[in-house]
């Protein structure tokens, strides 16, 4: 074989290898496009998240409407009733946040949501039959821990379905409308059930709502990515060496304490001033929180705005509005006070 023929043969082999590589890359690209659906395909995850957050935060924040029925049922003081139906669910849901996040990294969103919704459903169903305040507190502890598991899982799992920051921000903004809608809608529905039937029937109705979230959890199959499964990510210890995070945690603790005090007393303040249907006045906080979230999302889209100033603005608006409740005496004053408290909390 001459040198010219050898060159021609070698050139053919090179071109053939190049064609094979191109074909392999094309097939890999096609298979990737087939295996990776668009973000719109996973819109059902966002809808599930909307519903779960609606019955999580939306219910947990309006438990103050059950204080008077519990006082009448168990012949206890307001402080004891507040502890049972407001403080225990709120505190257990917030304090268990780090543990719930660790459990999510260990078990995944499906197990977390299914266990959390089961605990919430059992808490309300069993709580409607108990005749002891201690057992009622245990039921509300179940409810609080269950909401913590559900909230952490449904928020965290969005990162596994929506890979770009733009899609995640859009989905998160949509999901956070749910709590505001729940705060506005649930008092209207539950007060009607309490008046027409009883608070026990209202709790049984709430129990069925969490059965739906259990079914939703079955379809959420993706688990946390491998890069997020280290012991540091699971425990969140590493983030505590940042001063700004520690300061934000302290501010959040103080804000949560003020919110619990506010939720425990706002309906009593309005009833003392003979405000008609105080539960409905309080519920407008939910609509205001949606407006606050919308404005916050818009402001955060401008990269030039420092998020620290936005956080400070949220605290100032919310805490000023919460504190002003003690100086409200008329319907419109309470409406404005609830609006700005919800606006600041949502923002």
Position of tokens 């949501």?
113
Please measure the distance between the N-terminal and C-terminal CA atoms of the chain and give it in whole angstroms. Answer: 80
Query: Does 238 score more than 80 pLDDT?
Result: no
Q: In the predicted model, what is the mean pLDDT of residues 202-225? A: 90
Residue 33's pLDDT is 44
Residue 298's pLDDT is 74
Distance in angstroms (rounded) separating the CA atoms of residues 347 and 343: 6
CATH assignment of 43-239?
Answer: 1.20.1250.20
Residue 48's pLDDT is 92
Structure tokens that stand for 73 in this block: 């049922």
Residue 51's pLDDT is 93
Query: Does 294 score more than 60 pLDDT?
Result: yes
- DSSP, res 240: G
Distance in angstroms (rounded) separating the CA atoms of residues 151 and 116: 9
Residue 32's pLDDT is 45
Whether 180 and 287 have beta carbons less than 8 Å apart is answered as yes
- Domain segments of the chain as ranges: 43-239, 242-347
What's the whole-model pTM score? Answer: 0.79
| SS3 of the chain: helix, strand, coil, percent, to 5 | 85, 0, 15
Beta-carbon count within 10 A of 157 CB: 25
Please give the mean pLDDT across all residues of the chain: 81
Distance in angstroms (rounded) separating the CA atoms of residues 59 and 137: 17
Residue 253's pLDDT is 78
Whether 89 and 63 have beta carbons less than 8 Å apart is answered as yes
């Amino acid at each position: 074989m001459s040198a010219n023929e050898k060159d021609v043969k070698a050139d053919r082999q090179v071109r053939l290898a190049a064609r094979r590589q191109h074909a392999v890359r094309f097939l890999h690209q096609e298979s990737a496009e087939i295996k990776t659906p668009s973000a719109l395909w996973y819109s059902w995850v966002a809808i599930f998240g909307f519903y779960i957050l609606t019955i999580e935060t939306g219910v947990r924040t309006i438990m103050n409407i059950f204080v008077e029925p519990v006082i009448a049922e168990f012949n206890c003081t307001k402080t004891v009733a507040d502890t049972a139906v407001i403080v225990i669910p709120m505190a257990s849901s917030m304090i268990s946040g780090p543990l719930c996040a660790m459990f999510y990294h260990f078990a995944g969103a499906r197990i977390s949501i299914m266990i959390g919704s089961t605990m919430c459903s059992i808490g309300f169903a069993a709580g409607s039959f108990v005749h002891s305040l201690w057992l009622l507190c245990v039921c509300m502890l179940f409810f609080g821990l269950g909401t913590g598991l559900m909230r952490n899982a449904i928020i965290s799992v969005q990162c596994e379905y929506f890979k770009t920051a733009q899609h995640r921000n859009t989905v998160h903004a949509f999901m956070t409308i749910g709590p505001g809608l729940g705060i506005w809608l649930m008092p209207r529905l539950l007060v009607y059930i309490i008046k027409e039937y009883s608070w026990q029937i209202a709790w049984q109705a709430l129990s069925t709502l969490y059965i739906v979230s259990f079914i939703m959890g079955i379809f959420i199959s993706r688990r946390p990515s491998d890069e997020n499964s280290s012991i540091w990510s699971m425990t969140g210890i590493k983030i505590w060496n940042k001063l700004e995070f520690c300061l934000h945690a302290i501010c959040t603790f103080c804000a949560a304490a003020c919110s619990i005090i506010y939720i425990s007393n706002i309906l009593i303040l309005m009833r003392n001033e003979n405000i008609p249907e105080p539960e409905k006045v309080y519920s407008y906080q939910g609509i205001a929180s949606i407006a606050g979230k919308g404005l916050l999302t818009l402001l955060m889209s401008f990269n030039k705005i420092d998020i620290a100033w936005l956080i400070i603005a949220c605290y100032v608006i919310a805490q000023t509005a919460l504190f002003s409740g003690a100086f409200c005496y008329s319907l419109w004053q309470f409406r404005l006070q609830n609006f700005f408290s919800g606006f600041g909390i949502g923002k």
